[in-house]
């Protein structure tokens, strides 16, 4: 722009060339590349915002230490016993909370105009959302790893096997993927990123606490037990426990999968509709 001609040539003398824009659709391979690039973009953000790293690393560790050493003795009689019971549940709870980040990030992109920029590019229509979800999934797995790592130091042991442990991580991640449609919907609806957290917390806080993540179901009043037993968070916590330290796996896993399908069937169309209204 330094060596600019200040005077416009006459329109008739200007050249305008329309290149052939190529195929009308994005190929699946290209789509994968777009998703990967946008996931990279969401992960590289962390580099510039170390607070976010603390948010999804330190917070779960703090929860783990607090619950194990403050409540553990009271709830289970011994902290080590409680650790075995609570760690799988904490992984579930932390993962569900973290799905809110998808909504926050999405809302930031919408309000800042980044989403418009991305949608004006010749890329797969699903890539901006898929890229974000993929990046968030990577952060989820990272957080699970950190929790397991600290858990190991504190005395938690995987008592089943590596395959089962991997299956546990996979199941939690899969359910988080389904549940993140709730966060996507909230992200589409609210006017600013901070409100995602407010909405999300009022929904996910009771949902994760009124479950058997932290305490045994049979210690609660009957009417509450009724809710706890149908709560998908309970099923996920049971399945995760089963896969990490032993216990029933098949039934809770089945419940988790059904709930996952239900969540997607309900919230994905709502989120898409909210998105179309918004733009």
Partner 1 sequence: MLAGMTVRDEQTIPAIVTEGLVKRYGETTALAGVDLEVPAGTVFGLLGPNGAGKTTAVRVLATLVRPDAGTAFVGGYDVRHDGHRVRRLVGLTGQYASVDEMLTGTENLLMIGRLLGLSRPQAKQRARELLAEFRLSDSADRSAKTYSGGMRRRLDLAASLVGRPRLLFLDEPTTGLDPRSRNEMWEVVRDLVGVHGVTVLLTTQYLEEADQLADDIAVVDHGRIIAQGSPEELKRQTGAQTLAVRPAAEADLPLVVSAVAAVLDTSPEVAGTLVSARVTDPATLPAVVRRLDDAGVTVGEITLRSSSLDEVFLALTGHPAEPAGGGTGTGTGDDGSPAAADSPAGTRSTSDDDDDPAARIPAATRS
Q: What is the smallest separation between the CB atom of 274 and partner 1, expressed in angstroms?
A: 15
Interacting span for partner 1 (CB under 8 A) from 25-33, 70-78, 187-195, 205-213: 25-33
Residue closer to partner 1 by CB (options 16, 153) is: 16
29: contact with partner 1 by CB under 8 A = no
8: contact with partner 1 by CB under 8 A = yes
With contact defined as beta carbons under 8 Å apart, do 144 and 136 qualify? no
With contact defined as beta carbons under 8 Å apart, do 247 and 241 qualify? yes
Q: How far is CA 86 from CA 213, 258, 276, in A?
A: 6, 24, 41
Question: What is the per-residue binding string for partner 1 in 195-234, x denoting contact by CB under 8 A?
Answer: ----------------------------------------
14: contact with partner 1 by CB under 8 A = yes
Which secondary-structure segment (H or E) carries 48? helix 28-48
Q: What is the smallest separation between the CB atom of 99 and partner 1, expressed in angstroms?
A: 20
279: contact with partner 1 by CB under 8 A = yes
Of residues 118 through 137, those in contact with partner 1 by CB under 8 A are 118-123, 127
CA 69 from centre of chain: 27
94: CB partners within 8 A, 6+ apart? 59, 60, 63, 143, 144, 147
Q: What is the smallest separation between the CB atom of 266 and partner 1, expressed in angstroms?
A: 25
Residue closer to partner 1 by CB (options 250, 279) is: 279
First to last CA, the chain: 33
Residue closer to partner 1 by CB (options 77, 122) is: 122
Q: What is the smallest separation between the CB atom of 101 and partner 1, expressed in angstroms?
A: 13
Q: What is the smallest separation between the CB atom of 2 and partner 1, expressed in angstroms?
A: 8
51: contact with partner 1 by CB under 8 A = no
77: contact with partner 1 by CB under 8 A = no
| Residue 263 phi, psi dihedral angles, 5° rounding | -60, -45
* Binding residue (CB under 8 A) for partner 1 from 61, 114, 138, 274: 114
CA torsion 143-196-188-263 (nearest 10°) is 60
Nearest CA-CA partner of 164 in 242, 47, 220, 81? 242
3-state SS record for 61-103:
HHHHHHHHHHHHHHHHCCHHHHHHHHHHHHHHHHHHHHHHHHH
Interacting span for partner 1 (CB under 8 A) from 88-96, 117-125, 224-232, 259-267: 117-125
146: contact with partner 1 by CB under 8 A = no
Question: What span, in angstroms and rounded, lies between the C-alpha atoms of 239 and 212?
Answer: 12
CA 70 from centre of chain: 28
Question: How many residues in the shown chain lie near partner 1 by CB under 8 A?
Answer: 46
250: contact with partner 1 by CB under 8 A = no
What is the contact surface with partner 1 in residues (CB under 8 A)? Answer: 1-2, 4-9, 11, 14-26, 30, 33-34, 37-38, 40-41, 44-45, 48-49, 112-114, 116-123, 127, 279
């Amino acid at each position: 722009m330094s060596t600019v001609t200040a005077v416009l040539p006459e329109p008739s003398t200007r050249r305008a060339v329309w290149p052939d824009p190529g195929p009308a659709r994005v190929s699946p391979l290209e789509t994968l590349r777009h998703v990967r690039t946008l996931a990279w973009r969401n992960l590289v953000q962390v580099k510039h915002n170390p607070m976010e790293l603390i948010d999804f690393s330190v917070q779960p560790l703090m929860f783990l230490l607090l619950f194990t050493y403050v409540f553990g003795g009271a709830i289970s009689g011994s902290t080590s016993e409680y650790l075995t019971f609570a760690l799988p549940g904490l992984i579930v709870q932390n993962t569900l909370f973290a799905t809110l980040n998808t909504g926050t990030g999405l809302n930031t992109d919408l309000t800042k105009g980044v989403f418009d920029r991305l949608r004006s590019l010749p890329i797969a229509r699903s890539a901006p959302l898929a890229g974000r979800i993929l990046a968030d999934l990577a952060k989820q797995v990272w957080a699970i790893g950190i929790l397991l790592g600290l858990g190991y130091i504190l005395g938690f042991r995987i008592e089943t096997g590596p395959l089962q442990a991997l299956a546990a991580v996979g199941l939690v991640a899969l359910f988080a993927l389904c549940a993140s449609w709730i966060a996507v919907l909230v992200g589409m609806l609210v006017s600013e990123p901070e409100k995602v957290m407010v909405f999300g917390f009022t929904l996910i806080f009771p949902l994760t606490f009124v479950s058997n993540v932290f305490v045994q179901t049979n210690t609660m009043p009957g009417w509450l037990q009724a809710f706890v037993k149908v709560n998908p968070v309970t099923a996920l916590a049971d399945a995760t426990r089963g896969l990490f330290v032993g216990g029933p796996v098949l039934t809770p896993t089945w419940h988790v999968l059904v709930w996952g399908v239900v969540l997607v069937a309900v919230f994905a169309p709502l989120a898409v509709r909210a998105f179309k209204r918004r733009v």
